[in-house]
Each structure stands twice: as C-alpha cells, then as structure tokens.
Amino acid sequence: MSNIKNESTDKLFKAILSLKDVDDCYKFFQDLCTVKELKDMAQRLETAILLDEGNSYLQIADKVGTSAATVSRVNRCLEYGTGGYKEILARIKEN
C-alpha cells in the first residue's frame, strides 16, 4: 500500500468518506470513473461476496460475467491482502 499512500490519495479517500448516501456516491463516482471502471469495481466486490459464500470460480465467472483471472485475483486479495475485502464483507453481513 505504501506505493499509493500520498496526499492526493488521502484527499480522494477523505472525499469518499464525506459522501452521505448512495445518490451522492452515484454522482461522485460517475464523474470520477468511467463506466467500465465502475462496472469492474462492482464485479470485484460481487466476486468477493460470492467467494465468501463458497461459490466456485466457474459459478462466479458465469454469474458475474468476469474472467477466472479476476476471480483468482480477488481470491488472492481475500486470502493474502490487507483485509479490506474481509472488513467490508463483515459490514455487509451486519446490515
């Protein structure tokens, strides 16, 4: 993470944390990201959710419409990453 931690990234994350609701998120992220970037991020989160539920790579790739390589990458982050996915998945389960 040290290679992305800087003042600009801090400002981005603080901006994200200031968003008040889903409508704010749509407005901000549609201005910030391309449609493909948003879809890719949504697919990665959905992939993490499905992996956490015990679905197979093939089931996930078919359901989400992503590649096995993306499923593998998300799984690697779940297993060996910083714990970001795991924290979010726990919060999703709470709600």
State both tokens at 84: 């970001």
For 68-83, b/e burial (b = at least 16 CB within 10 A) is: eebbeebbebbeeeee
What pTM was computed for the model?
Answer: 0.90
CA distance linking residue 30 with residue 13, whole number of Å: 16
**Whole-number pLDDT of residue 2:** 63
In a shared domain, residues 41 and 27: no
In a shared domain, residues 24 and 41: no
Q: Tell me the pLDDT tens digit for each residue of 77-90.
A: 999 999 999 999 99
Q: Tell me the pLDDT tens digit for each residue of 12-54.
A: 999 999 999 999 999 999 999 999 999 999 999 999 999 999 9
In a shared domain, residues 75 and 89: yes
Instruction: Give the structural domain span for 9.
Output: 1-32
